Amino acid sequence: MSSEQPLDVIVARLQPVGDNDLIVSLLSSERGRVDAYVRAGRKSSRRFGGRLELFRKGTARLRAGRGRLPSLVGLEDARQLLAPGASYGVLCLASYAAELALIAAQPEHADVELAGWLEQSLAMAADCDEETLAVARLALEVAFLGAAGWMPSVARCHACGAELGGGAAWPAFADGPVCARCAPGGHVDLDATALAALMALRGGDASAARLDVLPTEQLELLGARVVGLLHDALPRRPRSADALAALIAS
Single pTM value for the model:
0.91
Q: Are residues 16 and 140 in the same domain?
A: no
Whether the Cβ atoms of residue 172 and residue 192 lie closer than 8 Å to each other = no
pLDDT of residue 1: 45
Q: Are residues 108 and 42 in the same domain?
A: no
Residues 25 and 150: their CA atoms lie apart, in Å, by 23
Q: Are residues 135 and 75 in the same domain?
A: no
Q: Are residues 150 and 213 in the same domain?
A: yes
DSSP for residue 211: G
Q: Which of 57, 80, 103 is the last residue of a domain?
A: 80
CB burial of residue 156 (10 Å; 0-12, 13-18, 19+): middle
Q: Are residues 47 and 128 in the same domain?
A: no
Q: Which of 24, 59, 80 is the last residue of a domain?
A: 80
pLDDT of residue 9: 96
pLDDT of residue 49: 62
pLDDT by residue, tens only, the chain of 250 residues: 445 678 999 999 999 998 888 999 999 999 999 999 998 777 766 667 667 899 999 999 998 876 789 999 888 888 999 998 999 999 999 999 999 999 999 998 999 999 999 999 999 999 988 888 988 999 999 999 999 999 998 889 999 999 997 889 999 988 899 999 999 888 888 998 888 888 888 877 777 777 878 888 998 999 999 999 999 999 999 999 999 999 999 8
Q: Which of 36, 56, 80 is the last residue of a domain?
A: 80
Q: Are residues 131 and 208 in the same domain?
A: yes
What are the C-alpha distances in Å from 95 to residues 7, 21, 81? 22, 21, 12
Q: Are residues 61 and 119 in the same domain?
A: no
Q: Are residues 168 and 124 in the same domain?
A: yes
pLDDT of residue 3: 54
Instruction: Check which CATH number belongs to the domain holding 177 and give it.
Output: 1.20.1440.120
pLDDT of residue 4: 65
CB burial of residue 149 (10 Å; 0-12, 13-18, 19+): exposed
Domain that holds residue 137: 88-249
Domain count, the chain: 2
DSSP for residue 203: T
Q: Are residues 100 and 204 in the same domain?
A: yes
pLDDT of residue 47: 66
Q: Are residues 179 and 98 in the same domain?
A: yes
Q: Are residues 51 and 104 in the same domain?
A: no
pLDDT of residue 58: 93
Q: Are residues 50 and 93 in the same domain?
A: no
pLDDT of residue 2: 45
Instruction: Check which CATH number belongs to the domain holding 20 and give it.
Output: 2.40.50.140
